[in-house]
Amino acid sequence: MKQRNYIFILLIILIFSITGCSNNDKSNLSKEKNTHKKVELTVSAAASLQDALNDIKAAFQKEHPNVVINYNFGASGALQQQISQGAPVDLFFSAAEDKFDKLIQDGLIDQSKGKDLLGNELVLVVPNDSNKGINSFKDLSRINKLSIGTPEAVPAGKYAQETLENLNVWKTVAGKVVYAKDVRQVLTYVETQNVDAGIVYKTDALISKKVKIAATAGEKTHAPIVYSAGVIKDSTHPKEAQLFYDYLQNENSLKTFTKYGFKGLE
């Protein structure tokens, strides 16, 4: 009788051991699944960065398949306002220092997690088959329509107005200006010949086969063009946001930016 009781107790212990192992295995599998759970990042970036950032995204996601990058491209001023108003953004890549600095001042970006990363040039573009004889900014007096980004929201538009004012051309062309929501829209207006000329970044001009560069603005005609990137303090995925922020600064990413015409600042 004692022996039967002993065997019965052993069987119960064995059953509990097996059940415990099974539960542990399920728990470990669950933890493993959570480790590889996909994380989605929202990156708000200046429209002029679109092509370079799409290349960088493809390379990044090959190395980090569990991190999905969702871009929100637009004018830096509009993007900055969205973030200020609480839009759920993880990282901001601005084409204007003042828009970026505003978020630092407002405590939305930690200065230690932000950096001036790239430079660019401002150019005057015309359609490939233009016969207006536009070879300089001063030739703009001959045209009927000129497109620039809205200066209050689009950094390229602000730089464009500064340039035209410093070259004493603004008063002549102010009534002919067609404002656009970002530089890509300016480029589209020129490509479709809805305007005679447009002022965009050099990087935008280089991606189009339908326009040609008529002139490049001198560096002293406008404020320095600086692109700044930084992690938003309220990011719901700060670790992954920092990972992508660091990736933007590695050698391969900087080569990609250079390929598209951006200039490094160091």
Q: Which two tokens stand for residue 201?
A: 């970044």
> Angle, to 10 degrees, between the axis of helix 50-63 and the axis of helix 238-247?
120
**Residue 6 DSSP SS3:** helix
**Residue 87 marked as a ligand binder:** no
8 A C-beta contact, residue 186 and residue 198: yes
8 A C-beta contact, residue 247 and residue 253: yes
The model's pLDDT over 231-259, given as tens digits with 9 standing for 90+, comes to: 999 999 999 999 999 999 999 999 999 99
pLDDT band at 264 (very low <50, low <70, confident <90, very high): confident
The pTM assigned to this predicted structure is: 0.79
Domains of the chain: 39-119+225-264 (3.40.190.10), 122-221 (3.40.190.10)
The one-letter amino acid at 258: T
Is residue 77 pLDDT above 80, yes or no?
yes
8 A C-beta contact, residue 114 and residue 228: yes
**Residue 76 marked as a ligand binder:** yes
The model's pLDDT over 191-205, given as tens digits with 9 standing for 90+, comes to: 999 999 999 999 999
Whole-Å CA distances, 95 to 155, 177, 225, 250 = 6, 22, 7, 19
**Residue 112 marked as a ligand binder:** no
